């Protein structure tokens, strides 16, 4: 059985997940959390961008690579908190299975450092709470993250 606690790590806290997920929804959620933990580890350590490639579509990997390049040797410190509000299969049949996940991504406890360890956090862009919609697609036998869209800022809670 998957619980919010079982999906959490020291720096990645899942505060809630929807109840009564079926087997396929649970697989989508686990695949997303794995991807999200891998990408947060990239930002926390400033290394390992290649680890995201097998967990994303090629287009999404290019977005991550661009963000990694922009970090330019910097890193992020703190704890990210996540409240998952829904997991839905949007195309459950056919040649391309698709799903979406709605969540609150609470980054208010994060600090961004540049390559020289200077705090370069900007409250308006790095320390907010983001209502997000994640698109997932089933490719090559695994669920992959296809895109992330921020729907609103500072209007959700990861309690």
Indicate which CATH number applies to the domain containing 146.
Answer: 3.10.450.50
User: Over pLDDT 70: what percentage of the chain?
Assistant: 98
Question: Does 112 reside within a domain?
Answer: yes
- Three-state secondary structure along 75-138? EEEECEEEEEEEEEEEECCCCCCEEEEEEEEECCCEEEECCCCCECCCHHHHCCEEEEEEEEEE
Domain hosting 70: range is 5-153
The answer to pTM > 0.85 is yes
pLDDT at 121: 85
Greater confidence, 121 or 66?
A: 66
69 within a domain of the structure (yes/no): yes
Tell me, yes or no, whether 124 lies in a domain.
Answer: yes
3-state class of 153 per DSSP?
strand
Between helix 23-45 and helix 58-71 the angle, nearest 10°, is 30
Domain assignment present for 159: no
- Name the pLDDT band for 63 (thresholds 50, 70, 90): very high
Number of domains in the chain: 1
Report the C-alpha gap between 40 and 50 in whole angstroms.
13
Residue 10 has pLDDT above 90, yes or no: yes
């Amino acid at each position: 059985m998957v619980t919010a606690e079982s999906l959490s790590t020291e720096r990645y806290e899942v505060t809630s997940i929807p109840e009564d997920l079926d087997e396929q929804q649970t697989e989508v959620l686990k695949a997303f959390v794995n991807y999200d933990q891998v990408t947060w580890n990239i930002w926390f350590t400033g290394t390992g961008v290649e680890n995201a490639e097998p967990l994303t579509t090629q287009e999404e990997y290019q977005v991550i690579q661009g963000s990694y390049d922009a970090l330019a040797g910097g890193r992020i410190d703190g704890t990210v908190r996540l409240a998952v509000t829904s997991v839905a299969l949007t195309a459950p049949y056919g040649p391309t299975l698709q799903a979406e996940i709605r969540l609150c991504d609470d980054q208010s406890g994060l600090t961004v450092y540049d390559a020289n360890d200077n705090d370069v956090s900007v409250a308006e862009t790095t320390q907010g709470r983001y209502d997000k919609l994640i698109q997932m697609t089933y490719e090559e036998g695994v669920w992959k993250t296809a895109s992330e869209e921020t729907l609103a800022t500072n209007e959700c809670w990861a309690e």
